[in-house]
Amino acid sequence: MRRDIDALAARLAERQHGVFARAQIQREGGTKSLMKRRVAAGLWKAVAPEVFRLRGARPSWHQRVMTRCLSWGEGAVASHSAAAGVWEFAGFRPGPVDVTVPRGRRRSGRPVGPHWARLDPDDVTVSHGIPVTTPARTLVDLAGTVPLDKLEVALDDALRRRLTSTGELRHLLKKMSRRAGSKALRALLNEREGRPVPGSPFETMLLRAMKEAGLPDPVRQHSVVVDGVLAGILDFALLPERVAVEADGYEHHAGRARFDHDRSRRNRLTVAGWLVVHVTYPEFKRSPDAVIETIRRALHLRRQGGAP
């Protein structure tokens, strides 16, 4: 029995980020006295009510999330910001460990602050070995708890990576129409209807800034063809002025070969009559107002008949 329990603990720890629940051991015949002996021998460590960590397992954020889910028992899942961290949504780093537990569950000694809700089976899945709300349900939960700009970046990231779809989100919002933040999320979906998803989190942020500044709504991922040849695909195209706004993230524009390619592409666009405004992420973060003003002046120049 002792060998069986030790093997079970090892298997559970391997797939659960180094931790396992007392209930999981008890279901296979493990007794309280056996568990106490394992803790006393330093083989297991109690890291939360009803949860042990196997000796040698390194602490991690994923382990913290798994520990909290196990501590709250069957049906507890990572949700909200923790789920966003599990799914690696843009703008969300490993941080607070949010869990959602079945309504009515109260357990003394557990970490405070869980969310109580009834989750449909379709709202729950497993990622990285952790029970977690689906990407769609995670976004609906975030809509009521995070600022609009942060929600928008996460939404576009999830859509871009095809973790969910606008159709799936609309279906879920229909079932949860009174959910806090549902109106804001629905409005974001309406803005994306029939349009390409921005190509990066930076593009999402730049697009939001342009909208809030009252600039014209740009065409996204606009193809420029000259003499039957593709001259370039623009991040944002302001028509009819032919002003292009390019969001230059360093990771997409590094290296000599890429530098030469970008300059050649810009020359082709200039010859085709486009005035190209390049915006770097550091520049935008440092002074978004100055970036918006540059775009505004470029529009003014073209409306006054200025050449690129």
Q: Mind listing the pLDDT tens digit of every residue in the chain (308 residues)?
A: 566 899 999 999 999 999 999 999 999 888 899 999 999 999 999 999 899 999 999 999 999 999 999 999 989 999 999 999 999 999 998 888 999 998 766 655 555 557 878 889 999 999 999 999 999 999 999 999 999 999 999 999 999 999 999 999 999 999 998 888 999 999 999 999 889 999 999 999 999 999 999 999 999 999 999 888 888 899 999 999 999 999 987 454 444 445 445 667 778 888 888 999 999 999 999 999 999 999 999 999 999 886 55
Q: How many CA atoms lie within 13 A of 186 on its CB side?
A: 14
Q: How many CA atoms lie within 13 A of 29 on its CB side?
A: 8
Distance CA 275, CA 293 (A): 15
CB of 135 within 8 A of CB of 87?
A: yes
CB of 105 within 8 A of CB of 143?
A: no
Beta bridge partners of 115: 100
Helices (H), the chain: 2-15, 22-26, 32-40, 61-72, 80-86, 135-143, 148-160, 166-175, 182-192, 201-212, 256-271, 281-286, 288-303
- Which region holds residue 221: left if phi is over 0, alpha if psi is between -120 and 50, else beta? left
Closest to 301 in 3D by CA, of 258, 250, 255, 238: 238
SS3 of residue 213 by DSSP: coil
Amino acid letter, residue 247: A
